[in-house]
Amino acid sequence: MNDRILITGGAGFIGANLAAALAKRPGVDVVVLDDFSHAGWKNLIPVDCEVRAGSVADAALHEEIARGAFSAILHQGAISDTTVRDERRMLEINTNAFADMLAASAAGGARMVYASSAATYGNAPAPNRVGGVETPANIYGFSKLAMDRIARRWFDRHPGVIVGLRYFNVYGPGETHKGRTASMILQLYQQIKAGNRPRLFKYGEQKRDFVYIRDVIAANLAALEAPRSGVCNVGSGRARTFNDIIANLERLLGRKLDVEYFDNPYDFYQNHTEADIGPTTELLGWTPAWSLEDGMKEYIELLESGFDGPVEAADGAGA
Degrees, nearest 5: CA angle 254-260-262: 150
Kindly name the residue from 178, 207, 212, 299 that is annotated as catalytic: 178
Q: How many angstroms separate the CA atoms of 94 and 98, rounded?
A: 6
Instruction: Tell how far CA 214 is from the center of its chain.
Output: 11
- Do the strands 240-241 and 207-208 form a parallel or antiparallel pair, or are they unpaired? antiparallel
Per the annotation, the verdict on 189 as an active-site residue is no
Torsion of CA 139, 144, 149, 152, to 10 degrees: 180
The question of whether 178 is a catalytic residue gets the answer: yes
Query: Can you list the positions of beta strands (E) in the chain?
Result: 3-8, 28-34, 50-53, 72-75, 111-117, 162-167, 169-171, 199-201, 207-208, 210-212, 230-234, 240-241, 260-262
**Annotated active-site residue in 140, 171, 189, 212:** 140
Q: Which residues are known catalytic residues?
A: 140, 178
